Amino acid sequence: MFAAWLRLCLGALILGGSLGASAAPGAVVQLQVDGVIGPASADYLVRGLAKAVDEGAQLVLIQIDTPGGLDTSMRAIIKAILASPIPVASYVAPGGARAASAGTYILYASHVAAMAPGTNLGAATPVAIGMPGTPSKPPGEGKDEGKGKDGEADKSPGDAMTAKQVNDAAAYIRGLATMRGRNAEWAERAVREAVSLAAEEALAQKVIDYLATDLADLLRQLDGKTLQAGGVDQTLATAGAPLISHAPDWRTRLLAVITNPSVALILMMIGVYGLFFEFSNPGSGVGGVLGGISLILALYALQLLPVNYAGVALILLGIAFIAAEAFLPSFGVLGIGGVVAFVFGALILIDTDVPGFGIPLALIVTLALVSAGLILAILGMALKARRRQQVAGDSGLVGSLVAVAAVQAEDPCSGWVALQGERWQVQGSEPLRPGQRVRVTARQGVQLQVSAVDEPPPQGGH
């Protein structure tokens, strides 16, 4: 029953989700990108474009305010825009919004590019991929440094990788600019020099097509315009068309939460620790259920993020060492090694410097301290158990106080007692009586040697 419910929930997460009310044929569908572009926003826009096509909308309008985002998510959005059989208009709004980095590429890919006054775009240089916090030099900087004997610069592997990324991004945005008939020279400068433009300058330099104060103004300007989408010329009638807004649904919001690297890391820890708890205490069910769900969600999130798999391996190795400390106490060696491996793994887990996708150092330290606290608790229990007197085996038998249960008629010095859940034969140096308290002094095979600790009860009389 539970397995079926879990499959249903995961199926809904992966395949389900509704984008809200249906649009009427000929309507304009509005989608919104507000914040960092990641797997959640890419999924939302791709599904929104597909839904608009199914509903027969005449135009999809994407309102943008973003500092940028992941390259993979950006390219998924652009592929959906280029393949769309209906025109797509990107509009940077309201005043004060921006379409930086990945937002600039999306703007260039759209059939219509528009901005509101007081907005800006640009700064489209790819963020260096590597350990978070690693600085990167813009192309051309330091070109006189590190020259060899022949005057040629010695390029490090990192510089070569950065150059490849920048050249690829420049060619990509130049191709989009050529396709849409926009300023390709400025687009390349936005990539190579990280330049930006205000809305009015962008219109003057033919980087965008329209400057609109609001959505209604933009729709009035687009009315009667002919655009080509899917290889077909389409004339817009947007002046009186209904505007249907599809806000992010529950799936998008859930995906945005679990694809947060910090949340994914916490889910991974809960999942692994939950499963270890279930394996060490089988039958409770809580650890297995909570751990299994958390681990599946964490793995689903990580496969959508730019993950360094060496970081994942170090985190799992660290958690395994910490858990091994509970089963194979090494007085902290395994546990401390596990904490160190976890910290280094968390530091290099996310393989990008894109804002919004880093793991705060404070969170890493907090999780490491929690793990260290777990190790100290395990060590404390191990030391306490080591000092505790044994209560099983010969050490637990010798010295025990017990009452005589029965005495042999033919040998009053021999009888039986009940000790540690078993019936033992006892032998004393003096006659024994039922109910008499004796102390175990030694064990010989299956027989215990005892001595009396109190006087035998009187047999009667005064």
* Letter string b/e over residues 345-372, b meaning 16 or more CB atoms within 10 A of that residue's CB: bbbbbbbbbbebbbbeeeebeebbeebb
Contact 358, 261 (CB under 8 A): yes
d(CA 31, CA 17): 15
The domain limits of the chain are: 20-141+156-251, 259-387, 393-452
Pick 298 or 201 by higher pLDDT.
Answer: 201
For the segment 432-448, what is each residue's pLDDT rounded down to a tens digit?
A: 888 888 888 888 877 88
pLDDT computed for residue 454 by the predictor? 65
What band does 3 get if pLDDT is binned at 50, 70 and 90? Answer: very low
Highest mean pLDDT among 149-163, 240-254, 356-370: 240-254
Strand ranges for 241-365 from DSSP E: 243-245
* Residue 52 pLDDT greater than 50, yes or no: yes
For residue 298, is pLDDT > 90?
no
Confidence at 162, pLDDT banded by 50, 70, 90? confident
Average of per-residue pLDDT across 21-31 = 76
Contact 95, 117 (CB under 8 A): yes
**Res 84: pLDDT:** 94
Q: List b or e across 303-338, with b for residues whose CB sees 16 or more CB atoms inside 10 angstroms.
A: ebbbbbeebbebbebbbebbbbbbeebeeeebbbbb
pLDDT band at 420 (very low <50, low <70, confident <90, very high): confident
For the segment 375-386, the average pLDDT, to the nearest whole number, is 66
The two beta strands, 120-122 and 196-198, are antiparallel
Domain 20-141+156-251 has CATH 3.40.50.10420: no
Task: Return the pLDDT at 352.
Answer: 67
**Spelled out in words, what is the top-level CATH class assigned to the domain 393-452?**
mainly beta
pLDDT, the chain, mean: 80
Selection from 197, 146, 141 nearest residue 166 by Cα: 141
Q: Given pLDDT bands bounded at 50, 70 and 90, which one contains residue 13?
A: very low
Q: What is the mean pLDDT of residues 235-250?
A: 88
Query: Six-digit token pair at 450?
Result: 């005892």
Residue 141: the pLDDT is: 45
When pLDDT is averaged across residues 164-180 and rounded to a whole number, the result is 92
* Least confident interval from 134-138, 273-277, 317-321: 134-138
State mean pLDDT over 209-235. Answer: 92
Range 24-29 average pLDDT? 81
- pLDDT value for 456: 53
Average pLDDT over every residue of 126-150:
45
Q: Report the percent of the chain where pLDDT is more than 70.
A: 78
Instruction: Give me the sign of the Cα torsion angle 70, 119, 255, 338.
Output: positive
Decide whether 20-141+156-251 matches 393-452 in CATH topology.
no
Q: Find the range with the poorest average confidence among 38-47, 177-186, 203-212, 433-442.
A: 433-442
pLDDT at 332: 67
> What is the CA 93 to chain-centroid distance, rounded?
30
For strands 98-100 and 422-428, give the pairing.
unpaired
Cβ 410 vs Cβ 440: under 8 Å: no
Q: Residue 229: enclosing H or E segment and its boundaries? A: strand 226-229
Phi/psi for 171 (5° steps) reads -65, -35
Q: What separation in angstroms does the CA of 305 have from each of 73, 300, 416?
A: 9, 9, 70
- Name the 3-class secondary structure at 284: coil
CA–CA–CA angle 11, 16, 20 (5° rounding): 160
Q: Which of 81-85, 198-202, 396-400 has the lowest mean pLDDT?
A: 396-400
Q: What is the pLDDT of residues 263-290, one digit of tens each?
A: 888 888 888 778 777 776 676 677 778 8
- Dist. CA 394–CA 253, nearest whole Å: 62
Q: Which residues pair with 302 in a beta bridge?
A: none
pLDDT band for position 457 (50/70/90)? low
Asked whether the predicted pLDDT for residue 355 surpasses 70, the reply is no
pLDDT (average), residues 153-163: 63
Of 94 and 10, the structure prediction assigns the larger pLDDT to: 94
Residue 357 has pLDDT above 80, yes or no: no
Helix axes 261-280, 286-302, angle to 10 degrees: 150
